[in-house]
Structure formats: structure tokens, C-alpha cells
Structure 1
């Protein structure tokens, strides 16, 4: 347990530039307080002292604003930044070097007593306000953007954004056999760590689709313009308006409408 807490303290310094010293982390970081009490409650839960474990969990929620069920499994180097409003369900499983921001929910979508909460593998980052709901896996080094709502499995090294969540993944280059993806560093320094799972270099898939459609429309319009120019050269009458003459029936209808209009005007005057 002490080894785990040591890794949790180190995670704070790796991922929060505001942290100045160990005493500050021990006394003023509610995310660290919550994980300390969870380690204790989880140990008691495994020893079948479930009532005491729940009591410690309830006190932790009151003191920190973070609710972690004592049965949840959490690995080393876990970090909750800011923390208020975080909820981690009973059957949730969290790997090593995972980061959660405030307002994150690891919840379930069923009342079944089996596995109903998500599994977060090593190196996952979950942005503020994100909701991960269901018994699926968020792959290694994946990122969930702020306020995203995820209800299906997220592949490794992928970013999930939006509601419902859509996946963003960089393209494969010819020189590489694997995709170029911004990974969370495997070492504890977290040199590629992205706060709030936000990256300016990752495109929005919806905007990218709209851009492609816009370019296609412009190309089609240019192609049609060239066709019209060529047809105009072959037939000078091509661009001139060609209106069909009115039939006698159409003329009679127009005259009838005109008479009714004139009568209505006279009636009003």
C-alpha cells in the first residue's frame, strides 16, 4: 500500500505543475486524500469488513467530494486533479498511471449485479465532465475529451470526443507500420501528458468531413461551369432562357384572377 501511495504522490508532481512539495500534496490535495482513503477502504473490503469500508468511503465523499466505491480496483500512479464530482462505480477497474479530472463519472447503465462499470487500461486520461458508462474497456493510452459521453469501447491510442463520443486517430504513414498517435509516455515523467485530454493537433472528424464535402462541391461546380461554357460554344442558344408560351387556358385563368383582384380593390375603396 505504501508503495502505491508513493507512486500516487509522484503522479501528482508529474502531472500538476502547481504542486510544490510533498507536504502540500499531503495536506491540500483532495484527489490524493480520496485515493488514500480508497486504498484503506479497498483493503477492508477485500477482508470482508464491508461495513467499515463503506463508512470510510462515505466519509471520503463528504470530505473530498469524490465518490469511489471501496470495491473498485485502482492501480498505481492514479491521479485525480481538482476532484470535485468524480464518481467511480463498484465494478470499475483502473490501470496504472491513469488521470481523471473533476466531474468524471465511471458509471453503469444496468441494474445487474455483475460487471457494469468501465475498465480503464494504463495511461488513460479522462477530461473534465466526461461520462464513461457501461462495462467496456477504454484502451491503453486512450484519451477521453472534456464533456464526452462514451458508451462503447475505446481502442488504444485513440481520443474520444463529443456526445455521443466519436473517435479521432491519426493516419498511418508509408514509412511506419503503426499509426502515428500521440501516446502518453510509458515512463513516470509523462513527457507527452495532455491535460484535460485536449490536443490542438488532432482534427475534428465532423469538421473534416464537412471540409471534404465542401471541396467536392466546389470541384463539381467548376466542372459544371466548364461544361456549360463548352455547350455554349456549340450552341449559342444554350444559355438563353427558353420559356414555353402560355396556352389559352392559362391566359383565361390569369384574366379571371385579374378581374377578381380588381373587384376586391373596388370593394375595399
Structure 2
């Protein structure tokens, strides 16, 4: 079967299990806070903001934002295969765009900049792994196949196939940057 038959929620859950799950199997996996939050986020994203479903799912999402410590809004554009490595203390600005098959660990902040050279919110490519406590700021573009190491402060553009380390960050060209870090790609 092609993966076009599967919903975005099934594709997100595929990243964790390596197999496409039925709706019942997805519900069973929702005991995991990371997967539960992604499920609710995707439900809120599916419905128009001012519709009954949109209002309902946004209220539910708000409750679980507070409970789990994930500050991700339905307005945030997130590609399929989204994966949260650990739960808690995660903040992503609603203007951020995130590509397919991206992993984000705990303690990450992805924020807009209101002044300086890179005003705006980050655009993150496909197959990007963002390590614990990384901070990504401004209207920057992060390419595909990029590994952002733990505790990195990033406020500049990053080309495809890169490893980003440190504060201030250093960018290294690395062909297989995310190999072994991003599994079960959709």
C-alpha cells in the first residue's frame, strides 16, 4: 500500500512504531504523552479555527499544552512524520514552518525575532533532528538533513546536509547528518 492512503496522524505515529496503525491502535498508543499531544494537535489543525470542531479541539489542546508542557499551536505548519522525542518544556512560535520527518527533543525553543537581520520565524526543512535545549531564533531557513546538536543557539541560515553545534553555533557540512537519528521515515 502507498502511504497516500494514510492520514497525517497515522504517518506521525508510524515514526514511533515503524508500522501504520489502525484508529484503535492509535488510541492505545495515546497513553504516551508525546503521541497523545500530537494526536490532539493534528485534530485541532484539521478543523477551521471558528468551527465547532476547531473550538472544541483547541480547548482540549490548551488543556494538554499546560499538562504536558508543549507550547505548539495549531497555526504552526508541521509536515507529516512529526516526532517529539520526550515530553515537556517545548515552545514553538505559531509562525514556524517545519518539514517532513522532523524530530524535536525536550527543552527546545523555536522563536520569532522582532528585530535585527533575521526578522520573522524559522523555516525548517525535511529530516531535521533538533536536540535537547536547542534554541532556534529568527526568520532563518534550515535546510534538509540537518542535525542541530543539544544546547545549540542557532540564529543564521543552515544549508542542507549540515551538523550545527554550539553557542555561538558552528556549521559543518556532513552528508549523512541525520543518519541513525531519524528512523521510520514516511
Give the TM-score normalised by structure 2: 0.79
Q: 1:52 to 1:137 in 2, by over 3 A?
A: farther
Match of 1:134 among 135, 138, 151: 138
How many positions carry a matched residue from both structures? 167
Match of 1:97 among 91, 94, 101: 101
Give the C-alpha shift of residue 51 in structure 1. Answer: 5.4
Distance 2:129 2:44 in 1: 24
Q: Conserved in 2, the CA contact under 8 Å of 1:61 and 1:67?
A: yes
Whether 1:3 aligns to 2:20 is: no
| CA displacement 1:29-48 (0-9 Å, x = unmatched) | 2121111111122223x444
Whether 1:154 aligns to 2:154 is: no
Question: After the TM superposition, which parts of structure 1 deviate over 2 Å for at least 4 consecutive aligned residues?
Answer: 22-25, 46-57, 192-195
| CA displacement 1:193-245 (0-9 Å, x = unmatched) | 227xxxxxxxxxxxxxxxxxxxxxxxxxxxxxxxxxxxxxxxxxxxxxxxxxx
Match of 2:33 in 1: 30
Distance 2:170 2:56 in 1: 41
Q: Give the number of the structure whose residues are more often helix, by fraction.
A: 1
Q: Conserved in 2, the CA contact under 8 Å of 1:158 and 1:168?
A: yes
Distance 2:161 2:46 in 1: 32
**Structure 2: segments with no counterpart, 5+ residues:** 19-24
Distance 1:125 1:78 in 2: 11
1:110-129 to 2 correspondences below 5 Å: 110=114, 116-129=120-133
Q: 1:4 to 1:51 in 2, by over 3 A?
A: closer
Q: 1:159 to 1:35 in 2, by over 3 A?
A: same
Distance 2:157 2:58 in 1: 29
Match of 1:19 in 2: none
Bigger Rg, structure 1 or 2: 1
Q: Give the number of the structure whose residues are more often strand, by fraction.
A: 2
Give the TM-score normalised by structure 1: 0.56
**Structure 1: segments with no counterpart, 5+ residues:** 15-21, 171-180, 185-191, 196-269
Match of 1:182 in 2: 176
| CA displacement 1:157-190 (0-9 Å, x = unmatched) | 10111012110124xxxxxxxxxx1144xxxxxx
**More relative contact order in 1 or in 2 (CA 8 Å, sep 6+)?**
2
Q: 1:53 to 1:90 in 2, by over 3 A?
A: farther
